Structure 1
Amino acid sequence: MYFGLKEFLNLLKWSLFTNNPLTKLVLVGGNPCSSYVGNSTSSISPLISSNSGKTHTLKLLVQKSNKKLLCAQVKNLFVEMLFSFLTIPLGAAIHLTKDDSSPSGISNLYNSISSLGDEKCLKSKDIKTMLLYPKVAPRYRRVTDFLPIYKENTRPGLFLKEKAPFMVSNDLEIIASPSIATFSKFNTLGVPVGDMEVVEGSFGKHEALLLLKASLTSTSALTDIVNSSRKKPKVESST
């Protein structure tokens, strides 16, 4: 089998979705994002409520009949957190979010570092630490306190210019929007207005880590988290 850049990228993607990435690469190939979407967040707690620590609120536009989240109205803080996901090394993301009850190829790869280090295969303990606990690059300042990834002396910073409301789609696409009423972009599936409701949600450190995990393995990150709720959300109003 020829193994080039295309195959490497597909193997990387499969390693996030499944526990047998090599088999999937050989038998399926292609792009796992379009051919395989697992229920990767089945054990994840909801955005709807946070059990501890400081939390912030957001508004979720939900389809009542199937509890599918159409979009969310959020403030800068939430968008800053989402953008910070792009600055986190993959090894650090796996360390923060890995779930031994539902391992993936990339989590198995991460776990193998410990055994290789114990057998003296790695060049040094520093290499082992670097692979297991990689840090955010120094040029990225701390934009959120919800992710335990920054060094203590990391200076605060921002990605966005000024405060403004934003809309975030189910698959984490972000647009600037003045109001949750402006949801025409997300209403392309023909969901009746009477089948929609606005619910109030909250997020904190726990939810940030869960959303990080979902963003790596799901194309419906927000819905996956909301659907796992054990607590009925508070209905704010109907639209």
Structure 2
Amino acid sequence: MTTSSPSSSSTTKMSLKLLVDKKAERVLFAEASKDFIDFLFNLHRLPIGMVTKLLTKNNMVGSLGKVYESIENLSNTYLLHENKNKDILLKPKTPIPPGFLLLSNYDTNINEEEIEPPKLYMCSNNWCRYYYVTLVPNTQCSNCGHAMDNSVTYVGKNKMEVKGYYGGGGEGGFVKEAVTYMVMDDLMVQPMSSISCISLLNKFNIKDVSSVEEMDVEFGVHEGIELLKASLLCNNVLTSVFHSNIKIKKESNVILH
């Protein structure tokens, strides 16, 4: 696996081993490590606004792209808090470090001094005795109605706390490292075993084992965005992302024979 520091995460590449049905030109499953599984699980932490932004409004599934475009084009005259409301909607904050899509082993490289903890806000009314907090500044206090724009100091930020906040656990990420995982074409994840592999070949009704081939591919930022998009459109996600690789491999094999 090729990795990079968080600051250069756009060049990070993961290695995946695909088991491909050459005749059907489809991925049966992928053999993946912790990094790829953490990437998949992290997708569930993305706010919908961030998903729209990642896919760009023109490629967004359904009509969410139009909502994004409407927010962009809406005059500040109609906004309650001018540009602040646009930033909240178009640039939503996510509890994942920048470049998380392919940030391999970020738990060991993370610089806690560069990480900002979540900003919390309390009611600005000194007479309000309810200690409610919010992540969104200027939210109306449910007790007295004043704006909650009094910034609260976050105490803590030790290394394990930061890693747990961004990665979901003390050791970073979500799944254990000393395990190989099987990712199905529809992104179903399970631990890998020889028994599960044989069962899957039977499930896919693979009679001719010679039609099945292993293929090593690289998974970078581009593939990450394509996977996110495909996961919203279809069930054969891995086949959709790597179909061109499969086709090239198949054509090269034909030429060699």
Aligned to 2:190: 175
Contact 2:12 2:102 survives alignment (8 Å)? no
Contact 2:20 2:214 survives alignment (8 Å)? yes
Which digits, 9 at most, give the CA deviation of each residue in 1:22-57, with x for residues without a partner? xxxxxxxxxxxxxxxxxxxxxxxxxxxxxx823121
Alignment of 1:120 onto 2:77: yes
Q: Say which of 216, 219, 226 aligns to 2:235.
A: 219
Q: Residues 223 and 146 (structure 1 numbering): CA distance in 2 closer, same or farther, change over 3 Å?
A: same
Cα distance in structure 2, aligned partners of 1:106 and 1:115: 14
Q: Say which of 55, 58, 77 aligns to 1:100.
A: 58
Aligned to 1:29: none
Unaligned runs of 5+ in 2: 1-9, 104-111, 117-161, 164-171, 253-257
Cα distance in structure 1, aligned partners of 2:65 and 2:25: 30
Shift of 1:68: 0.8
Shift of 1:136: 1.4
Q: Residues 79 and 127 (structure 1 numbering): CA distance in 2 closer, same or farther, change over 3 Å?
A: same
Aligned to 1:110: 68
Q: Which has the higher contact order (CA 8 A, sep 6+)?
A: 1
Alignment of 1:232 onto 2:219: no
Cα distance in structure 2, aligned partners of 1:166 and 1:88: 23
Q: Say which of 45, 52, 56 aligns to 2:14.
A: 56
Give the TM-score normalised by the residue count of structure 1.
0.64
Which digits, 9 at most, give the CA deviation of each residue in 1:118-160, with x for residues without a partner? 25222221111111111214xx67894527xxx9616443111
Say what the alpha-carbon RMSD is for the aligned residues.
Answer: 3.2
Residue 93 of structure 2 aligns to a residue in which SS?
coil
Give the TM-score normalised by the residue count of structure 2.
0.60
Unaligned runs of 5+ in 1: 1-51
Considering fraction of residues, name the structure with more helix.
2
Identity across matched positions, percent: 31
Contact 1:74 1:165 survives alignment (8 Å)? yes
Residue 77 of structure 2 aligns to a residue in which SS?
coil
The number of residue pairs the alignment matches comes to: 179
Alignment of 1:153 onto 2:115: yes
Structure ID, larger Rg: 2
Residue 114 of structure 1 aligns to a residue in which SS?
helix
Which digits, 9 at most, give the CA deviation of each residue in 1:67-97, with x for residues without a partner? 1111100001000000000000011011011
Cα distance in structure 2, aligned partners of 1:230 and 1:186: 18
